[in-house]
Amino acid sequence: MKDADTGLTLVVVNAVYGAAVMARQGVRLALENASKRPDRLLTVFAEQDLEATARFRSYIADIPPSEPSFAVFKDGELVYFIPRHRIEARDPQAVAADLTAAFDEFGE
Helix (H, G, I), strand (E, B) or coil at 103: helix
Query: Cα(107)–Cα(102) distance, rounded to whole angstroms?
Result: 8
Q: How many residues does the chain have?
A: 108
Count of beta carbons in the 10 Å neighbourhood of residue 77: 11
* CATH C-level class of 2-106: alpha beta
Predicted confidence pLDDT, tens digits, the chain (108 residues)? 777 889 999 999 999 877 888 899 999 999 999 999 999 999 999 989 999 999 999 999 999 999 999 999 999 999 999 999 999 989 999 999 999 999 999 998
Query: Cα(60)–Cα(97) distance, rounded to whole angstroms?
Result: 23
Position 20, amino acid: A
Give the pLDDT confidence score for residue 104 in this predicted structure.
Answer: 96
pTM (two decimals) = 0.93
Q: How far is CA 24 from CA 2, 75, 80, 98, 99, in A?
A: 25, 24, 17, 13, 12
CA angle 98, 82, 11 (to 5 degrees): 100
- What is the distance of C-alpha 31 from the center of its chain? 12
In this predicted model, what pLDDT tens digit does every residue of 73-86 receive, in sequence order? 999 999 999 999 99
